[in-house]
Amino acid sequence: MSLATVKKNILRMAHYSYASHVGSALSAADILYTIYAKAADITPENINSADRDKVILSKGHASTALYATLAEFNLLPKEYLDRYYIDGGVLPGHLDKDSVPGVDASAGSLGHGLSLGLGMALAKPQYKVFVVQGDGESEEGSVWEAAALASALKAKNLTLIVDVNNLQGFGRTNDIIPVDSFAAKFKAFGWETYSADGHDLKQLEELLKKPQNAPKAIIAKTVKGHGVSYMEDELKWHYKSPNAEELAQGCLELDSAEKGNKE
């Protein structure tokens, strides 16, 4: 399996469909890849079963990250990636749980994923539920209602990963509602709380696998557009799609980084 392939497919889907949110997808890709590779028990054999672990991408505008990850782990036909966000396609721009197997929750209107994940965790306490949420999204009040209830009900099979790339639709998240206190907030709500480099796969794996006796929150510091130099930490890639030249450059950089990591 290749994380670089996941990220190249994110670029490719955004390019051919003229879609936005490519920067948001790249910031979450390492997190999703590690969940499916190392933490969640989700396989091609159990993908259609209600009795398996669940993964919710609450920041549903970053749907290409989930689709590309599902395809990389053979949980989604790879040819579906050619039918993203186009007329006659099968993969909608925002996540729809009825579109394809493996999409465990519809998302797009922000702030609902944690509540949905809590419900799933309570309904199936023998399985693990992972929720990936954006930092800007964490300004929604419904997030904190779910956080309080999850702690009160001791949902120890629930893990939240907050993708803290410090950019949202109209600027720096810290300039709108500061996010530096996220770890303290979740800890105050009674969660087992950790901070991580959201692009360090080994660190993410260790924290995702760490035993828990309460809901777990991982505050993952990330970079919007991670892995593609001209996209990194640039707000405009919340909205733009790469042209052919930008696509080629991005894929070249991702290939080069993967080769360097293997040497």
Task: Encode pLDDT of 145-162 as tens digits.
Answer: 999 999 999 999 999 999
Distance CA 258, CA 263 (A): 9
- How far apart (Å, rounded) are the C-alpha atoms in residues 130 and 252? 32
Please give the average per-residue pLDDT across 188-206, as a whole number: 98
For the segment 62-82, the average pLDDT, to the nearest whole number, is: 98
The residue extents of the domains of the chain are 3-262
More confident residue, 257 or 38: 38
Task: Please tell me the distance from the alpha carbon of residue 98 to that of residue 105, in angstroms, as a whole number.
Answer: 9
C-alpha–C-alpha distance, residues 140 and 168, integer Å = 13
Q: Which CATH superfamily is domain 3-262 in?
A: Thiamin diphosphate (ThDP)-binding fold, Pyr/PP domains (3.40.50.970)
Query: Has residue 13 got a pLDDT over 90?
Result: yes
Enclosing H/E stretch for 133: strand 129-134
Share of the chain above pLDDT 90, in %: 92
- Spatial distance between the Cα atoms of 65 and 57, rounded to a whole number of angstroms: 9
Phi and psi for 17 in degrees, rounded to 5? -95, 0
* CB of 191 closer than 8 Å to CB of 146: no
Mean pLDDT to the nearest integer, 45-68 = 97
Q: Tell me what pLDDT residue 263 has.
A: 58
What lies within 8 Å, CB to CB, of 19 at 6+ separation is: 13, 64, 84, 85, 93, 241
Mean pLDDT of 2-16: 98
